Structure 1
Amino acid sequence: MRYCVVGALIGLIGLSPALAQNGDRKGHDKMGKIVPEDLIPSAPVLSVDEALKTFTIEKGFVIEPVAAEPLVDKPVALTFDPSGRMWVCEMRGYMPDIDGKLESRATGRIAILEDTNGDGKVDKRTTFLDKIVLPRAISLVPGGILYGDQNNLYFVARDGDKPKGKALVVDDKFAPGGNVEHKTNGLMTGIDNWLYNAKSNARFKFIPGENKVIKESTAFRGQWGISRDNFGRLFHNSNSTLLIGDRVLPNLLNGNKSAKMKAKTTERIGSNAVFPGRVTPGLNRAYISSHNGYSSNTIDPKTFKLTNATGACGPVIYRGNNLPASVNGNGFVCESSAQLIKMIGIEDENGTLKGSHPLEKRDFLTSTDERFRPVNMYNSPDGSLYILDMYHGIIQHKTYMTTYLRGQTLSRGLEGPGYGHGRIYRIRSSSKPLAKVEDLAKVSDIELIKKLDSPIGAVRDLAQKELIDRNADPKPIVAALATGAAADLTNIHLLWTLEGLGALRAKHLVGALTSKNEELISSALYAALSLTDSELIKLESLVAAVRATAMTAPYIARILAATPSPVAQEMLVALLKKHHGVSLVREAAIS
């Protein structure tokens, strides 16, 4: 094998202030190539059919295209509407050339993608909005959409699939400062009906009829991509940490703005080890190697593959019914610089999240195509998982690009084409059919309530949101709760739907607070924070009967602290004496 060490030319580049790259570190003047040149494959632009041949996926699963160019171009984020159509943010301006000179041009778009004949593939595209600078987040709201660009959060009214009027800035500090890799993204609806983001400490709620948002502080989370589990806990990550999970429901400890909380509220879930399907010379700091005299190795000096994540993004917690039950609740994470998807097992041990790597020393999906750039993943209404692939040669932003990576990029022609490619893939079971996607916009409120019992998380979420957006009559929802026949997970959605409609009352929480399911109990206690003082007092005897466990105790503390009565305060004191060593309980009590 022949090592092609960067010689005089790269040495001169490293010494020249005019030619050095923004990502070059002081003292990192040894940037010799690490991977033997004869092991590095070429990186031509592949058709979708050709790209499919480069994938290796775990047995029992299938990867197939849902949409590709020219129907989609550099997809980075999406949301589903009640009809099951995708609304996709296309960040066409991201690094269109090696120097990112044209990045600030308003080339981004929001497109509606739909499957009109039911064959599982997109056959119709409607450009809803264009001339956007680096769009990165989208949420459908009554009467229009919210979307985030490089700086602001906007509301755009709509008439069907067409915008109506000009975009209104509803938050001019949505994505402040930083570069494109480090700006707010997400707008994911939480179980509590708030919109949450990565790379942000703000959450939002849209006010129908007023065309504005409420903005509140929340814990700072992640970098790119955000997801949640069935309970409602949020999951996120950073480029070098595959998966991070919140230990409690969002904002449980954010009620007291004057208190600085110190409790550990997140857990790193599993290790950051990755197992690419190809050599990985195209990493920003692959030059950090014993071959170049460094004390550590970014890539394995024997296999020449990345060993730990450096481009992790777009996590999702699988909540569908198409993939095997054994992976339900698992995390899936994109590693865009190493062309792979990681699967992480997640377990809750007495309120503490633990991670495992069920596939051990291999990854769920790998590709040998260097242009495969998975950047986000979503649960689909058909029960499968969707992957957004920018399909772009350059994934590292100019702010951090090193001289080494620039050379790697140019050597394989990865600097172009700047536009015109992008794919959305589906991961499904090889042995189970996909669920039929129903148009929830056309069903009755009663049918929507039934959908809250769907085994598909994306369907439950859409049904909950649609009921709230319609301002549905709460009586049938209350009736569904009153039967006591609904599953625990369904009851969580029923309660939060009532909360979103402003119709939740103490009497609606009786069944949940007397159940044996700790997630349902905890969710009910948290939802109760939206009640008036007089309604909270009605819950005293029920709360007193709830067993305080590692999971429920913080929620009990928070609700007792919020209840304005001597009885509640006495119960809180007793709880704190028993759990004085648990920081989550102490801090929930002063939230």
Structure 2
Amino acid sequence: AGRPLTINGVHLNQTGDAAFAPVMFQTLFGEPAPTGDFSKLQTLVNAKNEEWHKRYRTVDGYNVYGDRSKIAYESVKDQPKITNYQIMQEEMAQRDVLTANRDRRLWANAKGDPNPPEMLSLPLVTPFGTNKPGTNPDGTYEFLSAEDAIAKMTLAPGVKVNVFASEKEFPELAKAVQMAWDTKGRLWVSVWPNYPERTPTSKLGDSIIVLEDTNGDGKADKCTHFLDNLNCPTGFQFYKDGLLVMHGVFHRSQGETALGPVRNIDGALYRFEPLTGKFETYAAYGFANPHGRAFDYWGNDIITDATGNNTYFGAAFSGRIDYPEKHPKLKQIWERPSRPSAGSTIITSTHFPEEYWGDYLNPNVIGFQGIYRVKLVDDGAGIKGIRQTDLMSSTDRNFRPIDTSVGPDGA
């Protein structure tokens, strides 16, 4: 018996690729595969495939082809309006050229041509500005410092806020989308500077960074880049000595697993078992963007559909249902006053007053800039939420809490 050829019985590993490639070459071309060092060619092929995939499965399809592509904006005063479709199609044309140029490079290498191939010129993208300019003379916005932002907050009795890290000290913290603390007290953050996605000519990718307080003063003083050159890293989960990082194309899910395909249309929640590779649809429902997920002390599953801030008792609609069916409309567990919300949490820390234990925290970013606190109680076979005194709110319209997490000190 030789070394394993797959990672799960279906998908080839590096050894499997090496064994399968000559067989495939013989089948396609009718002659034995050539031998030699093809590492550079492999790098060029992978680079071409990566660029092609960005074009074929663009992550921002709703703005490229969907309803938002049709919206027209006044980008420059007194100039004709432009649409997302116009700009995004011009960017797609750039991706076509970038793919073609990488294809030329790999074929030149495959032929042994020492001369660099002629590169196609990159088409231009129509210059555009924001349709929501700020109050500054140059159209930018005035953002408060982290300390000044605290002064705009109203806090629940007995609650205090302090700054752990800010963009002033760590510019790479801009546009954070998720955070989580590890067992060493370090704060891991997924940052998305290219929101909603990287442009074809972007040189700076999205990242996973690690913020650390090395001197114990309660503030981060060290930032480490764990992963760079990502595109839309919506979240991550600690696993063994590393991370499972989520960044995908969404909307239409075409999962291929050793146990069979997993299909879904629009939003859903999935369950993945890293040890077995088992992947399945956990909750098939008419979600828009189910970003909020929290488990209470007893393992009850609380799911929040972020766009409408609709929160559900997960067990009520997590039963098996065949694709493409969806579970029928479900009652929400509480009457939310505003929307949208993401990054919800269940408080399981004695750092807070005893009456906070097990409460659900629901951050909001548009109609209400703050974090709701909701008491969860039994309601027949399910759960219902009762709004309590808000944990915090702010009069600063730029205050947008998008994630909550209990830290190593209980805060």
- 2:336 corresponds to: 272
For residue 371 of structure 2, the aligned residue among 332, 341, 344 is 341
| Residue 326 of structure 1 pairs with residue 355 of structure 2 | yes
Amino acid at match of 1:375: I
Equivalent position of 2:215 in the other structure: 117
1:382 corresponds to which residue? 409
Which residue number corresponds to residue 355 of structure 1?
A: 385
Q: Following the alignment from structure 1 to structure 2, what is the Cα–Cα distance between the partners of residues 326 and 355?
A: 14
Inter-partner Cα distance in structure 1 for 2:184 and 2:73: 57
Does 1:92 find its partner at 2:193?
A: yes
Match of 2:121 in 1: none
> Does 1:233 find its partner at 2:337?
no
Q: Which position in structure 2 is the counterpart of 1:497?
A: none
1:533-548 matches, within 5 Å, as none
Q: Distance in 2 between matches of 1:102 and 1:50?
A: 37
Identity %: 24
Query: Which amino acid counterpart does residue 80 of structure 1 have in structure 2?
Result: W
1:12: how far off?
A: 11
From 195, 198, 205, the counterpart of 2:273: 205
Deviation of 1:77 after TM superposition, in Å, equals 0.9
Equivalent position amino acid for 1:201 in 2: L
Is residue 218 of structure 1 aligned with residue 218 of structure 2?
A: no
> In structure 2, which of residues 394, 404, 407 is the aligned counterpart of residue 367 of structure 1?
394
SS at match of 1:379: coil
What is the alpha-carbon distance in structure 1 between the residues aligned to residue 307 and residue 159 of structure 2? 27
For structure 1, the 5+ residue unaligned runs are: 1-10, 24-36, 152-174, 179-197, 274-308, 385-591
- 2:74 corresponds to 1:44: no
Deviation at 1:247, TM superposition (A): 5.2
Give 2:174's aligned residue: 73
Deviation at 1:95, TM superposition (A): 5.2
Q: CA deviation at 1:110?
A: 0.6
Which residue pairs with 2:98 in the alignment?
none
Contact 1:43/1:371, CA 8 A, preserved across alignment: no
Residues 334 and 341 in structure 1, CA contact (< 8 A), matched pair in contact too = yes
Indicate conservation of the 8 Å contact 2:206/2:233, yes or no: yes
Check 1:52–1:141 CA distance in 2 against 1; reply closer, same or farther (3 A cut): same
Q: Which residue of 1 aligns with 2:244?
A: 146
SS across alignment from 1:248: helix
Q: Distance in 2 between matches of 1:375 and 1:315?
A: 8
Write the distance in 2 (CA, Å) between the matches of 1:313 and 1:258.
27
Q: Which one-letter code corresponds to 1:339 in the other structure? A: Q
| C-alpha distance in structure 1 between counterparts of 2:161 and 2:358, whole Å | 19
Tell me if the contact between 1:344 and 1:358 (Cα under 8 Å) persists in the aligned partners.
yes
How do residues 109-508 of structure 1 correspond to structure 2 at under 5 angstroms? 109-151=207-249, 175-176=250-251, 199-207=267-275, 213-220=277-284, 223-239=290-306, 241-246=308-313, 248=315, 253-254=319-320, 267-273=331-337, 309-337=338-366, 338-359=368-389, 363-384=390-411
Amino acid at match of 2:376: I
Check whether the contact 1:92–1:108 (CA below 8 A) recurs between aligned residues: yes
Instruction: Quote how far apart the aligned CAs of 1:375 are.
Output: 0.9
Shift of 1:380: 2.3
The one-letter code of the counterpart of 1:229 is D
Separation in structure 2 between the aligned mates of residue 104 and residue 268 of structure 1, nearest angstrom: 41
CA distance in 1, matches of 2:280, 2:267: 15
The 1:143–1:381 alpha-carbon spacing in structure 2 relative to 1, beyond 3 Å, is closer
**Partners of 1:104 and 1:133 within 8 A in 2:** no
| Cα distance in structure 2, aligned partners of 1:213 and 1:317 | 28
Distance 1:354 1:12, change over 3 A: closer
Report 1 or 2 for greater relative contact order, CA contacts < 8 Å, sequence distance ≥ 6.
1
Kindly indicate whether the alpha-carbon contact (under 8 Å) linking 1:343 and 1:357 is maintained by their aligned counterparts in 2: yes
Q: Answer yes or no: is the 8 Å Cα contact 1:233–1:245 preserved in 2.
A: no
Paired letter, 2:296: D
Structure 2 contact 73–82 (Cα < 8 Å) conserved: no
- The one-letter amino acid paired with 2:277 is V
For 1:562, the equivalent position in structure 2 comes to none
Question: Offset of 1:242 from its aligned partner?
Answer: 3.2
Structure 1's 349 and 311: CA in aligned 2 closer, same or farther, altered over 3 A? Answer: closer
1:128, 1:330 → 2: CA distance?
32
* Paired residue secondary structure (2:355): helix
1:53 offset after TM fit, Å? 1.0
TM-score norm. by structure 1 comes to 0.40
Q: Which amino acid aligns with 1:232?
A: G
Deviation >4 Å, runs of 4+ = 11-14, 20-23, 100-106, 256-264
2:201, 2:152 → 1: CA distance? 30
Secondary structure in 1 aligned to 2:405? Answer: strand
Matched letter for residue 82 of structure 1: T
Q: Distance in 1 between matches of 2:80 and 2:277?
A: 45
CA shift digits 1:114-155 (9 cap, x unpaired): 22222222121111111111211112222432111243xxxx
Contact 1:106 1:132 in 2 (8 A): no
Distance 2:270 2:189 in 1: 22
The aligned residue for residue 81 of structure 2 is 19
Supply the distance in 2 between the matched residues of 1:250 and 1:118 (Cα, whole angstroms): 44
SS at the partner of 2:374? strand
Per-residue deviation at 1:310? 3.0
Distance (Å, rounded) in 1 between the aligned partners of 2:150 and 2:386: 28
Instruction: Tell me the TM-score normalized by structure 2.
Output: 0.56
Opposite residue 175 of structure 2, the aligned amino acid is K
Q: Determine if contact 2:210/2:225 at 8 Å carries over to the other structure.
A: yes
Secondary structure of 1:269 counterpart:
coil
- How many residues end up aligned between the 2 structures? 266
After superposition, the Cα gap between the structure-2 partners of 1:18 and 1:226, relative to the gap in structure 1 and judged at 3 Å, is farther
Counterpart AA for 2:294: S
Q: CA deviation at 1:241?
A: 3.9
Alignment-mate amino acid for residue 215 of structure 1: F
Calculate the aligned-residue CA RMSD, in Å.
3.7
Q: Give yes or no for contact 1:225–1:376 (8 Å, CA) kept in 2.
A: no
Q: Residues 20 and 238 (structure 1 numbering): CA distance in 2 closer, same or farther, change over 3 Å?
A: farther
